[in-house]
C-alpha cells in the first residue's frame, strides 16, 4: 500500500481545512490569548531610550516588562500546547467521522498536557545527545589554548568541525524519526518512550520519502501565509506612517502591535493546515504499517 503522495497531502489538507473551517478555527483562535497579553505589554512597554537611560521605570512600565516576560515564558507555551492537543484530537475525530465538543477537547487537553510535555522533553534530550560529539574537540581546543600548543589547537579544531557536522546530520535524522511522537500519543495513546519508539517504527526505512512529504506541503502553505503577512505588514506600515507623522516613538509602538497581530493571525490560519498535513501523513503511515503487519 503506497503512502499518501505530496499532491494528495496538499489537496486533502486544504479541502479538510475548508470543510471544517469553523471547528478548527474555534480551537486555533485561542492563540489570540497570548497575542492580547502581548499587545497590552507593547502598548505600555518602555521605549528604547528609556531602557538605555538610567531613569527608573514607572510602575506601568515595570508591569509591562513583567507581563511580557510572563506571556513569553509561560502563557504562550501553555496555550500553544493546549491548542496543539485540541487541534490534533479534533482532526483525529474528523478523520474518524465522530463528533467531539469543545468541552471534551478542553478536558482532553488537560489530560494529555503533561504527557505531551514529557514527550517533548524526551525528544529534546534525544536531540541534545549528538552534540556530545563536539566535546572532545572543544576540550582539546581549550587545553591547547591554555598550554599554548598549536598542534592541540589544530587537532581540536578538526575534531570540533567533524563533531559539528556529524551532530547536525544525526540531529536532523533523529528529528525526522521522532517528530511524530506527539501524534503517537494523541492518535494511538502511546506515552513516553513508547511514543518515540512508535514514531521511529512508522518512519523507519522511509526517511527521505517522509522528509519530502513533511517538508513540501508545509513550505507551500508557509509561503502563502508569509506572502499574505508581507502584504499586510507593508499596508500597516504605510497606514501608520501616514497616521502618526513624525512621532517616531508612537509609530514604532503601533507598528510593533500591528506586526504582532499579523504574525499571530498567520499562525492561527497556518496551524490547522500544518497539523492536518501531519495527521494525514501519520494516518497513512499507520495504515501502511498495519497492512504490512497483516501480510506478514
Integer Cα distance of 47 and 37 in angstroms: 18
pLDDT given at position 92: 94
Q: What would the pLDDT profile of 153-211 be if each residue is shown by its tens digit?
A: 888 888 889 999 999 999 999 999 999 999 999 999 999 999 999 999 999 888 899 99
Q: Which of these ranges, 90-94, 106-110, 245-249, 274-278, has the smallest mean pLDDT?
A: 245-249
Assess contact for 138 and 156: CB atoms under 8 A: yes
Query: How confident is the model over 227-233, as a mean pLDDT?
Result: 89
Q: What percent of the chain has pLDDT over 90?
A: 56
Give CA angle at 13 (207, 3), nearest 5°.
Answer: 35
Q: Please provide the average confidence, as pLDDT, over all residues in the chain.
A: 87
Burial of 268 (0-12, 13-18, 19+ CB in 10 A): buried
pLDDT interval class at 77 (50, 70, 90): very high
Domain residue ranges of the chain, discontinuous segments joined by +: 6-288
pLDDT interval class at 287 (50, 70, 90): confident
pLDDT given at position 40: 87
DSSP summary character for residue 54: S
Question: 41 vs 44, 48, 69, CA distance in Å?
Answer: 6, 14, 9
**What 3-state class would DSSP assign to 270?**
helix
Q: Which residue has the higher pLDDT, 191 or 57?
A: 191
Cell of 43: 502598548
Q: What percent of the chain has pLDDT over 70?
A: 91
pLDDT interval class at 288 (50, 70, 90): confident
pLDDT interval class at 21 (50, 70, 90): very high
Q: Which of 25, 95, 22 is nearest to 269 (CA)?
A: 25
Q: Which of 91, 83, 87 is nearest to 33 (CA)?
A: 83
Integer Cα distance of 168 and 25 in angstroms: 36
Amino acid at each position: 500500500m503506497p503512502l499518501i503522495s505530496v499532491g494528495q497531502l496538499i489537496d486533502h489538507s486544504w479541502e479538510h481545512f475548508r470543510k471544517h473551517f469553523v471547528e478548527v478555527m474555534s480551537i486555533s483562535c485561542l492563540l489570540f490569548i497570548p497575542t492580547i497579553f502581548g499587545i497590552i505589554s507593547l502598548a505600555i512597554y518602555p521605549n528604547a531610550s528609556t531602557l538605555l537611560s538610567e531613569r527608573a521605570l514607572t510602575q506601568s512600565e515595570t508591569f509591562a516588562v513583567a507581563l511580557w516576560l510572563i506571556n513569553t515564558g509561560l502563557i504562550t507555551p501553555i496555550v500553544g500546547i493546549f491548542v496543539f492537543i485540541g487541534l490534533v484530537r479534533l482532526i483525529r475525530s474528523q478523520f474518524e467521522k465522530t463528533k467531539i465538543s469543545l468541552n471534551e477537547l478542553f478536558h482532553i487537553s488537560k489530560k494529555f498536557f503533561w504527557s505531551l510535555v514529557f514527550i517533548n522533553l524526551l525528544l529534546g534530550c534525544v536531540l541534545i545527545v549528538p552534540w556530545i560529539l563536539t566535546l572532545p574537540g572543544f576540550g582539546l581546543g581549550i587545553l591547547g589554548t591554555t598550554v599554548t600548543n598549536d598542534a592541540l589547537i589544530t587537532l581540536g579544531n578538526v575534531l570540533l568541525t567533524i563533531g559539528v557536522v556529524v551532530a547536525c546530520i544525526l540531529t536532523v535524522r533523529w528529528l525526522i524519526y521522532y517528530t511524530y511522537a506527539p501524534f503517537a500519543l494523541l492518535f494511538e495513546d502511546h506515552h513516553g518512550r513508547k511514543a518515540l519508539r512508535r514514531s521511529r517504527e512508522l518512519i523507519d526505512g522511509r526517511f527521505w520519502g517522509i522528509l519530502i512529504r513533511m517538508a513540501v506541503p508545509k513550505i507551500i502553505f508557509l509561503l502563502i501565509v508569509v506572502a499574505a503577512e508581507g502584504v499586510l505588514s507593508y499596508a500597516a506600515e504605510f497606514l501608520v506612517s501616514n497616521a502618526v507623522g513624525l512621532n517616531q516613538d508612537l509609530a514604532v509602538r503601533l507598528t510593533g502591535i500591528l506586526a504582532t497581530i499579523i504574525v499571530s493571525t498567520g499562525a492561527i490560519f497556518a496551524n490547522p493546515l500544518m497539523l492536518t498535513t501531519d495527521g494525514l501523513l501519520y494516518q497513512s503511515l499507520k495504515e501502511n504499517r498495519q497492512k504490512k503487519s497483516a501480510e506478514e
